[in-house]
Structure 1
Amino acid sequence: MSADPVVLQRVDGVLFATLNRPATRNALAPEVVDAMAAAVDQAADDPAVRALVLRGAGGFFCAGGNVGNFQARLDGQAGTDDPVAARNRVFGRFMQRLAALPVPVLAVVEGAAMGGGMGLACAADLVLATRDAKFALSETTLGIIPAQIAPFVVARVGLRAATRLGLTGERASGDLAERLGLVDALAEDGAALDTLLAQWLTRICTCAPGANRALKPLLRRCGREDEGMLLDEAARLFAACMRDEGAEGIAAFREKRAPVWARRFDASELPGDAA
């Protein structure tokens, strides 16, 4: 069993990052967050990485913040450099980096995604889960708030659903989680979840890796910048893609063959439980 807080494994350009603290249900202790941040940086900086998959060891995605560390933070002196606020903001900066990653991010949820764990899922582009997996903004039941994950939850499920979940601590699973927009696709059990993941990775790897890296940041800018300036930049990106991977993609289409970047995945190829 690995002692690393996050275990990294790579399969044909897909980077698997598995939270590896099953004894605490993969709670987001500082060393776990730091290791996840390093994984995000690796995925961003390595052009050979085509997707990032987030999982949890021991059949549990993530229990959220490490409550055991909260008291130590409270013992620090509040003031201009409040240690509680400072550490909370560290997690928020990590969330920003995760959401801005230019490659597709998939969260694969078993057991539960609670609090900050649900935030991780909401920052992903695709969320796959077993039907009995639970999602909850549980912070308010502890007398605190989901401060750093709030923007990402709202971006994923909308203000109305985020308000419902945040102000009630309601646990959503199965059909409700899918209906609220927390989950993109459901599987009946862990084995079916691996099959589902392989299917989605195959779809992602049918797309050109450079085109995906260009498109995702462009989509995030839509609605936030001047439309004309954004479309000017989009035209330049289109031309760059056309002169690069586009030549191969068009040739493959005409020749009725798969492009050179296409890759099929099978559930048997996926990394096993890190724990």
Structure 2
Amino acid sequence: MDFQAIDITMHAYVATVTLNRPEVRNAFNSATIAELALAFDELGQDEDIRAIVLAANGPAFCAGADLHWMKEMAGYSDSENLADATRLADMLRTIYLCPKPVVAKIQGDCYAGGMGLAAACDIVVAADTAHFCLSEVKLGLIPATIAPYVIKAMGEQAARRYVLTAERITANEAHRIGFVHELATSDALDAAVATIIKALVSNSPHAVRQAKVLVRDIAAKTIDQALVADTAGRIAAIRSSLEGREGVASFLEKRKPSWLS
């Protein structure tokens, strides 16, 4: 597909999806949403890809919704609004459920829907000069479609404040509340992401996929007998998988596993 709003590059098991509308601070519109959904769906199925970086060109990561798109939406009927919102919600879910680990590289301002994009990723690395904001209530709106991911990422207590106040959040504060995993200076941001990517692609691709599902499936569950049985079944299954057997054998034989050959 000839992408207009994003760029995709691939190198050494890693795909980089780059928001490429710097002239509007990478604010997204219907085209951006459709392209992101397609890109993450296809990359998630690509066996040559072991990790994905979500990045952006220009001084901002993502300013949320494009103003021209918002003007169009102002004239939508209820059914058109619902269909449009559903497409956004589906795109975020596609990133969240992507079988490959996704690392967000936040080099600048990350506002509104941009925070949803970052929260849908598995790992968030940000420049220490970046700012974040859940600005929807300033416009008479609410961050509904991004809320499931943002609240998981920063926790309910922090969300209570920032969803209601629409205050700007510094990179240090975003890191403190757990929304951002790691901070780096602007000059060191690429290196910080590269270190995490190196760790991801060095691991068993099958185990990484299953570990991502594991965290998602059990994060909010009660530790009861059903969960104990479920987790026992998962480790038993992966021990007998091809990569599970190869990983243990390579460790015992003091050699590199096949996925690093």
Task: Settle same-fold status: TM greater than 0.5.
Answer: yes
Identify the residue that residue 152 of structure 1 maps to in structure 2: 149
Identify the residue that residue 4 of structure 1 maps to in structure 2: 4
* Aligned with 1:174 (options 151, 154, 171): 171
Distance 1:88 1:150 in 2: 13
Distance 1:119 1:38 in 2: 17
Per the TM alignment, residue 227 of structure 1 is displaced from its structure 2 partner at its CA by 4.9
Is 2:240 the counterpart of 1:238? no
Per the TM alignment, residue 254 of structure 1 is displaced from its structure 2 partner at its CA by 2.1
- Secondary structure of 1:58's counterpart equals coil
Count of residue correspondences = 258
RMSD: 2.0
Please identify runs of 4+ aligned residues in structure 1 that moved more than 6 A: none
- Secondary structure of 2:141's counterpart equals coil
Is 2:229 the counterpart of 1:248? no
Does the 8 Å contact 2:132/2:171 carry over to 1?
no
Distance 1:258 1:113 in 2: 40
Identify the residue that residue 108 of structure 1 maps to in structure 2: 105
* Aligned with 1:260 (options 248, 258, 261): 258
Distance 1:162 1:107 in 2: 20
Identify the residue that residue 199 of structure 1 maps to in structure 2: 195
Identity %: 35
Distance 1:200 1:57 in 2: 20
Per the TM alignment, residue 231 of structure 1 is displaced from its structure 2 partner at its CA by 4.5
Is 2:127 the counterpart of 1:135? no
Distance 2:22 2:196 in 1: 26
Is 2:117 the counterpart of 1:120? yes
Return closer, same or farther for 1:215/1:227 CA change in 2, 3 Å cut-off. farther
* Aligned with 1:88 (options 85, 88, 92): 85
Return closer, same or farther for 1:22/1:132 CA change in 2, 3 Å cut-off. same
Distance 2:50 2:209 in 1: 8
Residue type of the alignment partner of 2:101: P
Give 5+ residue unaligned stretches, structure 1.
264-275
Distance 2:228 2:12 in 1: 33
Distance 1:112 1:257 in 2: 44
Identify the residue that residue 48 of structure 1 maps to in structure 2: 48
CA deviation vs aligned residue, 1:107-147 (integer Å, no higher than 9, x gap): 00011110000111111111001000111101111221111
Distance 1:77 1:200 in 2: 44
Identify the residue that residue 208 of structure 1 maps to in structure 2: 204
Per the TM alignment, residue 206 of structure 1 is displaced from its structure 2 partner at its CA by 2.2
Distance 2:149 2:91 in 1: 12
Distance 2:14 2:126 in 1: 19
CA deviation vs aligned residue, 1:46-79 (integer Å, no higher than 9, x gap): 233211210011232111111221121221334x
Identify the residue that residue 59 of structure 1 maps to in structure 2: 59
Does the 8 Å contact 2:37/2:90 carry over to 1?
no
Per the TM alignment, residue 97 of structure 1 is displaced from its structure 2 partner at its CA by 1.8
Does the 8 Å contact 2:61/2:109 carry over to 1?
yes
Q: Which moved more, 1:2-11 or 1:219-228?
A: 219-228
TM-score relative to the length of structure 1: 0.87
Identify the residue that residue 272 of structure 1 maps to in structure 2: none
CA deviation vs aligned residue, 1:203-249 (integer Å, no higher than 9, x gap): 11221000111121122111358954455454444344323112221
Q: Which moved more, 1:54-63 or 1:237-246?
A: 237-246
- Secondary structure of 2:65's counterpart equals coil
Identify the residue that residue 15 of structure 2 maps to in structure 1: 15
TM-score relative to the length of structure 2: 0.91
